[in-house]
Amino acid sequence: MIVTLQGHWGFAMQLDHDRQMLIRAELSDLLEALTLTNFYSSPLQFLVRLEAVRQAAIAHNFTAVAEIASMFEASMQRVIEFGGADSVIGSFTGILDDAIGCSQLTPSMTQSLLASVAVRLPR
């Protein structure tokens, strides 16, 4: 009986791992579509794709990715007013890529990622 329980536990763990990999793949695809969108020629399309990343992260309980995407959106609103899109986009897409690849992000790790972005952003 113990073997059976361990077998079921291992199968459930594998399913969860597979599910997490599929979610990461989906988020990575959305992030790639975002990075391929030129903000200067299609700012609305860029923001729509950024929102798609945030919504997918929320739907799959990737809270850290959703929080980073929200901060990215807020920063892009400032970019629309004051400029500096290249550094904002480069900083946030790199951090989002890192966050998507992490197996688990604690709130303190998320804050560290966001702090590293804040240091790189123009004032």
Distances (CA, A) of 80 to 69, 84, 86, 88, 98: 16, 9, 12, 11, 25
Per the model's pLDDT, the better-predicted residue between 9 and 41 turns out to be 41
When pLDDT is cut at 50, 70 and 90, the band that residue 2 belongs to is very low
Which residue, chain included where needed, has tokens 């599929």? 22
Do 86 and 60 contact (CB within 8 A), yes or no?
no
Which residues, other chains included, contact 109 with Cβ-Cβ below 8 Å and sequence gap of 6+?
64, 102
pLDDT tens digits, residue range 43-87? Answer: 999 999 999 999 999 999 998 899 999 999 999 988 888 888 998
Collapsing DSSP to helix, strand or coil, 17 comes out as helix
R_g of the chain computed on alpha carbons: 17
Residue 5 pLDDT more than 60? Answer: no
**Burial class for 27, CB neighbours closer than 10 Å (0-12, 13-18, 19+):** buried
